[in-house]
Amino acid sequence: MRAIILALAFGSASAFVAPRPAAGAKTVVEAAPAKAAPKVVAKAAAPKVVAKAAPKVVAKAAPKVVAKAAPAKIIKAVKKAAPVKIVRAPQSLLVSGVFSPVQTVETNPFKDDIGAVGLMGFWDPADLVKDGDPVKFARLRASELKHGRICQLAVLGHITTTAGVRLDPFLTPGYDLKNFPTGLAALSALPAEVVFGTILTIALIEGGYAARKDEIEAAQLAASLKIWDEKTYASKQAIEVNQGRAAMMGILALMVHEKLNNDPYIINSLFFNAPVAFNAGF
């Protein structure tokens, strides 16, 4: 009985104590049976985040800056300061016989035309040709030329008659012009028929010129170009314009001083100490 109990006890203990392997024997480790991994149920993906589009920024256009035109005073100042050269008249001017304007892109389309000289440049204080009309300019230039020519003759006649020169009585039957004063005083001293005859003569000259204007100017041009080239002819035209302007001022001054103190040649007294006894004896 005791032997059976011992045998059972020994057998139970051997079940818990693993026998030592013999020396040199390979140890085989049996893998424990793997437990099945717990089933992982993937949760639903995180809610999709939709990025909202950034608000569209529309760049506003910069305000358009419009440059204001310079004041008229500044334009005039620049225009006066700009040097002006005398240029040769174009061929069309020479053929027509009229000082036609030359259109340019400048503010003043006539700034280089004949007559614009020196520091004055093109001088139009009354703005008569401010609109740039070439027809109007040509008409005013023709009037300027005519008045200049008349005044040149007037100054010459004033000086000549002041010196005592008169027409021969043969040319003025019934009148001896040496018995009449000169200057403005002659208008009140001469008989009415003489004044009328003078006015009639001027009218006939003016009418005859108007009737044959083109013919006269063509003949004048042809004769001039036989003596000068076109450049010299243009220079002579500029000289005529400026001398006519001087004569207009000159005859005006003679008439004014005659009425002021009967001394139209006062400049002789002031600068040359040679006074002129104007209309002495009348």
Does 144 score more than 90 pLDDT?
Answer: yes
Say if CB 242 and CB 151 are below 8 A apart: no
The pLDDT of residue 38 is above 70: no
pLDDT in tens, 84-95: 344 444 444 433
pLDDT at 10: 46
Instruction: Say how far apart CA 110 and CA 122 lie, in whole Å.
Output: 7
For residue 20, is pLDDT > 90? no
User: Mean pLDDT: which of 63-72, 138-147, 245-254 is highest?
Assistant: 245-254
Residue in 146, 139, 90, 87 with CA at minimum distance from that of residue 112: 87
Main-chain phi, psi angles of 114, to 5 degrees: -60, 135
> Is residue 115 over pLDDT 90?
no
Q: Which has more confidence, 133 or 72?
A: 133
Task: Look at residue 12 in the predicted model and tell me its pLDDT.
Answer: 45
Residues 39-80 have pLDDT tens digits of 544 454 555 545 555 555 555 555 554 445 445 544 444 344
* Three-state secondary-structure class, residue 121: strand
CB atoms within 10 A of CB 224: 15
- Of 2-6, 62-66, 84-88, 246-250, the poorest mean pLDDT is in 84-88
Two tokens at 55? Answer: 């608000």
Residue 194 CB neighbours (<10 A): 16
pLDDT computed for residue 169 by the predictor: 87
Phi and psi, residue 241, nearest 5°: -60, -45
d(CA 146, CA 143): 5
